[in-house]
Amino acid sequence: MNNNSTFYTKTGFTLAEVLITLGIIGVVAAMTMPSLITNHREKKTVAQLKKAYSTLQQGYLMAISKHGEPESWGVGNTNTSTNEDGTTQTDYSEAELLLEYLSENMNTININQEIEYTKYQLNGANGRNVNLKNIPNIVLSDGTIIALGYITVTKNTGDIYVILNGCAQNGRCTLGKDIFYFNIRFSPAKIIPVGADGSQYPKEEFKNYCNKTVDANDSGKGCTAWVLYNENMDYLHCNDLDWNTKTQCH
């Protein structure tokens, strides 16, 4: 009688092989995760800024539709005076009046909050204390802060800045990363992201006011238009970007 035996060979991974594979996966994850997290944060900032810009534009248009052209709102110039001790004092009542018009149809949760943070330029230098105690501001339902600065009606301009990422609550905000500037025009009525043509720092000033290698107090202030129109924050990663020839690092 013939006995036919079938032999089965059991295959699998040894513990050493499993540990080596897990180690490789861990190394790859450690190398790629920071980049993925950074990319996600920047995309989130782009989306938040676009939403804030849309909110500002809609608020301005609705205020005009309800109250007429901005010239009839009675908004004047921001005034700065010198106290007896030599310190300067800025009267933001005109900016507060303008913000009332702009925010009338916005979904706000707080008005004129006393918020203090340190503002840095794009390269992380020159930290300066900022207190929104006397600066007109609103907090939108998503946590975005909109504040108004100097208003110069006679020069047809005013400063609006948007503060994102909860940086004010953390106490550290960076121009071009967390803080983004807009210019408001009264005639014709429009809101222009700084960095665009017709703004305080037009496109030709991009390399001076949206570049991490530039050491200037307003470095980062000219990044707003770049983020909105090119939908990236690649200026945080390379210094050779250009509106006409290179709008991404890679």
Which residues are CB-neighbours of 20 under 8 A, at least 6 positions away?
none
Distance CA 103, CA 160 (A): 12
CA-CA-CA-CA torsion for 140, 97, 50, 106, nearest 10 degrees? 40
Q: Which DSSP letter does residue 35 get?
A: H
Assess if residue 28 is contained within a domain: no
Give me the tens of pLDDT residue by residue for the chain, a chain 250 residues long: 555 555 556 667 787 777 887 778 777 767 666 666 778 899 999 999 999 999 999 999 999 999 999 999 999 999 988 877 777 889 999 999 999 999 998 999 888 888 899 999 999 998 899 999 889 999 999 999 999 999 999 999 999 999 999 999 899 999 999 999 999 999 999 999 999 999 999 999 999 999 999 988 899 999 999 999 999 999 999 999 999 999 999 8
Assess if residue 18 is contained within a domain: no
Q: Which is nearest to 119 in space by CA: 159, 176, 172?
A: 172
Assess if residue 248 is contained within a domain: no
Assess if residue 241 is contained within a domain: no
- Predicted confidence at residue 185, as pLDDT, reads 97
Assess if residue 98 is contained within a domain: yes
Assess if residue 34 is contained within a domain: no
Range of the domain at 129: 40-236
Decide the pairing of beta strands 116-120 and 172-174.
parallel
Are 223 and 182 in contact by the 8 Å Cβ rule? The answer is no
- Predicted confidence at residue 198, as pLDDT, reads 95
Assess if residue 62 is contained within a domain: yes
- Predicted confidence at residue 88, as pLDDT, reads 80
Q: Which is nearest to 115 in space by CA: 97, 98, 136, 92?
A: 136
- Predicted confidence at residue 120, as pLDDT, reads 95
Assess if residue 55 is contained within a domain: yes
- Predicted confidence at residue 1, as pLDDT, reads 52
Name the pTM for this structure. 0.85
What SS3 state is found at 108?
Answer: strand
- Predicted confidence at residue 4, as pLDDT, reads 57
- Predicted confidence at residue 100, as pLDDT, reads 95
Which residues are CB-neighbours of 4 under 8 A, at least 6 positions away?
none
Q: What is the number of structural domains in the chain?
A: 1
